Amino acid sequence: MRDAFEALAAQDPAAVAYHHGDLAGLTTSIASIRVRPARAPRTFRAAVAATVATAGATTAALIALLGAPALPLIGFAAPRATVLYSTKFATPSNSTAARRSATRPVAGALGPGPSLAAAYRVTLPATSLRAIERLGDALGVVGSIAGYNGTVYSETSPTGARVIYDTSTGLASWRYLPGPTPGLTPAALSRALANQHWGYAPDVPARGGSAAVVVDGSVTSLRVVATVRHGHVVDAVGPAFAVAAIVNYPLRSPTSALEGLSSETRARASSFTLSWTAFTLIDSTEWLLPTFVFHGRAEARPWTASALAIRAAAIGTGR
């Protein structure tokens, strides 16, 4: 049986971390407010970061969940994990038979799902200081580097452009804020980020919005989010990680995963998708693990709940 505080953590309405959609605009507007009558308004250099991942305290709860012998319901809307929304299952690569078996479309009514799926162990691609230097060089943002608490680093150019590398919670994240000068186009930003040796090829949406991060063919719940104005990026954020290992796991059936959840959840779930979500394990390693996202309706509104698609006890064993 779950501990009371594990159950409470699993019900956190902010399991999906908040990010403002237009931080550059937000900071500009706030800093333009006069705070003293004599103070002349002026344009504020855009400079904002945001975390991509989980809060530390809530990660601890997830760690406990993963150590439990029985799979629990994870969260109110989505697992306490890295970014944003659940995504539809998509086609993994054909590099192994195991991963190929997971490519069958599984969205739809509850029933037998794929038998195997890959899990990805991910790590920081570089030390924070080196990462911010590389990022700044790639994006043409060269200037002063500042660090906050040893976990958040930013580099700011003389024109006010800024890049940020944040390792404060869960997976690291990057952010690009060109400031008052025209930023890179989405395509140019994608190309520049492609050389960062991350575990995915950043796909910055051409018209802004968000795009799912695809790791080795698996569509994850991680997102790259960008604001684009007049063809240029004014704000973009996404995760940063390297894939250190790939392990194939046998999957539970969606039906058996549901059996561990509450009767209320079982009654609501009518279909599911498979997604990959970031978790921190007991040994502090970071993984992208296959997760069932159950869909249904509650009080006439869309409803989702999530559960690990593999047995928690199997994590780390590959069985």
Nearest CB to other proteins, comparing residues 70 and 187? 70
Which of 18-26, 105-113, 119-127, 240-248 is the region at the interface with other proteins (rule: CB under 8 A)? 18-26
**At residue 249, what are phi and psi to the nearest 5 degrees?**
-120, 145
d(Cα 65, Cα 79) in Å, to the nearest integer?
11
Q: Angle CA(104)–CA(110)–CA(114) in degrees, nearest 5?
A: 30
Query: Residues 205, 238: contact at Cβ < 8 Å?
Result: no
d(Cα 23, Cα 10) in Å, to the nearest integer?
28
Query: Applying CB under 8 A, which of residues 84, 118, 139, 164 lies at the interface with other proteins?
Result: 164
Query: Applying CB under 8 A, which of residues 187, 264, 267, 319 lies at the interface with other proteins?
Result: 264
Which residue is listed with tokens 């930023």?
A: 183
For residue 88, state whether it binds other proteins (rule: CB under 8 A).
Answer: no
Helix axes 186-193, 128-139, angle to 10 degrees: 140
d(Cα 148, Cα 125) in Å, to the nearest integer?
19
Helix, strand or coil, per DSSP, at residue 98 = helix
For residue 187, state whether it binds other proteins (rule: CB under 8 A).
Answer: no
For residue 181, state whether it binds other proteins (rule: CB under 8 A).
Answer: no
The site string for other proteins over 223-262 (x = CB under 8 A, - otherwise) reads: ---------------------------------------x
Q: Could you tell me the sign of the dihedral formed by the alpha carbons of 250, 253, 257, 260, in that order?
A: negative
Shortest Cβ distance from residue 150 to other proteins (Å)?
12
Query: Applying CB under 8 A, which of residues 71, 122, 152, 233 lies at the interface with other proteins?
Result: 152
For residue 30, state whether it binds other proteins (rule: CB under 8 A).
Answer: yes
269 burial level (CB within 10 Å; 0-12, 13-18, 19+): buried
What distances in angstroms separate CA 124 from CA 144, 167, 239, one per listed residue?
Answer: 23, 9, 10
For residue 297, state whether it binds other proteins (rule: CB under 8 A).
Answer: no
Contacts (CB under 8 A) with other proteins, residues 55-84: 55-58, 73, 76
For residue 300, state whether it binds other proteins (rule: CB under 8 A).
Answer: no
Shortest Cβ distance from residue 119 to other proteins (Å)?
26
Shortest Cβ distance from residue 309 to other proteins (Å)?
20
d(Cα 293, Cα 309) in Å, to the nearest integer?
9
Shortest Cβ distance from residue 2 to other proteins (Å)?
9
List of residues contacting other proteins (CB under 8 A): 4-5, 7-14, 17-21, 23, 26-27, 29-31, 33, 35, 39, 42, 44-45, 47-51, 55-58, 73, 76, 146, 148-149, 152, 154, 164, 168-169, 262-265, 298, 305
